Amino acid sequence: MASKMKTVVVGCGGMAREWVKHAVELDTIELVGLVDLNRDAAVAMADWFELSHDLVFDSLKAAVEATGADAVFDVTVPVAHDKVTIEALELGCHVLGEKPMSDTLDKARAMVAAAKASGKTYAVTQTRRPLVGFKSLEKFVAADGIGDLAELHSDFYIGAHFGGFRDAMAHPLVLDMAIHTFDNARQVSGADPVSVYCHAWNPKHSWYDGHACATAIFEMTDGVVYTYRGSWCNEGCDTTWEADWRIVGAKGTITWDGADAMKCEVVTPGQTEGFIREKTQVDIPLIEMADEGHGYLIRQFAEHVLSDGAVSVECPYEDNIKSLAMVLAAVESADAGRKVEVVW
């Protein structure tokens, strides 16, 4: 078994800096290539980390063939993910890609087909999945901590003044941010999306061109209902980036502010009468994690490749496409003004 995963990073914009940082620091990864359509961007990335310009290549194919790379990190823009991922898989590389999986379902399905045909691993970095709070909630709910799950609700309100491309998007909140929250709803509930009704709008005070606000109701499997409320032009009383949550089960409820305030109350056992039943507060055990976010996912992916799959990956393509489908179905519903099925 190889001791290090030879890795090429494709896409050397600002986001790639986080990826390259971990690729350089982890002793399970050997960074062997940097690729960008703009060669100067790849050179600048090499300079930032004081790496040799010998790592800079003009194309993915050239980088893989010259280095014998085992894996490709796709940190390109969403519209290019299908091209980069499919080419990398066909070159015999495993792929870890930045979210979202793609900008359309047709492209995502082509990526799924390519991954299946290649026999290689393809996974996506949903960086909020491997956070202590969400991992702890996932385990507690799955262990029947509040009984059969009935509903989840999340609120996301942050006045984000990005400037740039997001300001011109038709659905900046849903397309660029909501995939995190939708994916966490799937993670915690263990349920898959069935249908969605979404209403999106842009308030008069908004600095976005497109719809910066949205409310969505998802029907999920097992009779679970998930609702989302969000705004990217909200000023004041912001939520965390992880959103504010209420998770309701048959015997209790969890609330979490996405930071430190996590609370769970369950019906005190043995009660048979009473208009409002007595509740008992229950502690949710927090999972101990050495790392979170990109660091966790990149380390895990390298361990997966080096162990020939003995270590599982957090967000394999066959699961992550469901979160992308939620986003695109929400946009379809908002544009059509009606409930739509979520398909992938």
Residue 332 has pLDDT above 70, yes or no: yes
pLDDT at 277 exceeding the cut of 70: yes
Question: What is the mean pLDDT of the segment spanning 62-86?
Answer: 97
Give 217's strand partners.
197, 227
Torsion of CA 193, 197, 201, 207, to 10 degrees: 0
Q: Examine the domain organization and report whether 111 and 256 are in the same domain.
A: no
- Are 276 and 142 found together in one domain? yes
Same domain, yes or no, for 235 and 268? yes
Rounded mean pLDDT of 42-62?
98
The per-residue pLDDT for range 294-320, each reduced to its tens digit, is 999 999 999 999 999 999 999 999 999
% of the chain surpassing 70 pLDDT: 100
8 A C-beta contact, residue 88 and residue 34: no
* Residue 89: CATH number of its domain: 3.40.50.720
As for how many domains the chain has, the answer is 2
Q: What is the CA radius of gyration of the chain?
A: 21
Average pLDDT, the chain: 97
Task: Specify if 173 maps to a domain.
Answer: yes
The reported pTM is: 0.95
- Over residues 219-228, the pLDDT tens digits come to 999 999 999 9
188 and 54 share one domain: no
Structural domain range at position 24 = 5-127+292-313
Cβ atoms 55, 138 nearer than 8 A: no
Q: Which of the two residues, 200 and 270, has the higher pLDDT score? A: 200
Residue 256 lies in a domain: yes
Q: Sorting pLDDT into bands at 50, 70 and 90, what band is 201?
A: very high
Residues 188 and 247 in one domain: yes
Q: How confident is the model at residue 164 (pLDDT cuts 50, 70, 90)?
A: confident
Q: What's the whole-number mean pLDDT along residues 258-285?
A: 95
- In this predicted structure, what is the pLDDT of residue 1? 54
Q: What percent of the chain has pLDDT over 90?
A: 97
With beta carbons less than 8 A apart as the criterion, state whether 88 and 38 touch.
no
| Domain membership flag for residue 33 | yes
* 5-26 confidence digits (pLDDT tens): 999 999 999 999 999 999 999 9
Confidence label for 165 from pLDDT (cuts 50, 70 and 90): confident
Query: What per-residue confidence (pLDDT) applies to 115?
Result: 98
Does residue 319 belong to any structural domain of this protein? no
DSSP string, 35-87: E-SSHHHHHHHHHHTT--GGGEESSHHHHHHHHT-SEEEE-S-GGGHHHHHHH
What whole-number distance in Å separates Cα of residue 69 and Cα of residue 28?
A: 14
Structure tokens at 240: 């965390």
What is the average per-residue pLDDT within 65-85? Answer: 97
Cα–Cα distance measured from residue 266 to residue 319, given in angstroms and rounded to the nearest whole number: 31
Residue 272's pLDDT is what?
84
DSSP 247: E
In a domain, 337, yes or no: yes
pLDDT at 238 over 90: yes
* Same domain assignment for residues 83 and 143: no
Determine the 3-state secondary structure of 161 from DSSP. coil
**305 shares its domain with 337:** no
What pLDDT does residue 2 have? Answer: 75
Q: What pLDDT digit, counting tens, does each position of 115-143 carry?
A: 999 999 999 999 999 999 999 999 999 99
- One-letter amino acid at 157 equals Y
pLDDT in tens, 23-38: 999 999 999 999 999 9
Sheet bearing 29-35, strands edge to edge? 56-57, 29-35, 5-10, 71-74, 94-98, 122-125
The helix/strand count (H/E) of the chain reads as 10, 15
Let me know whether 220 and 266 are in one domain: yes
Asked if 25 and 148 sit in the same domain, the reply is no
Same domain, 256 and 150: yes
Average of per-residue pLDDT across 230-254: 98
Query: What would the mean pLDDT of 196-211 be, rounded to a whole number?
Result: 98
Residue 330 and residue 206 share a domain: yes
Shared domain check, 159 and 59: no
Is residue 318 domain-resident? no
pLDDT (tens digit per residue) in 174-184: 999 999 999 99
Q: The CATH number of the domain where 149 resides is what?
A: 3.30.360.10
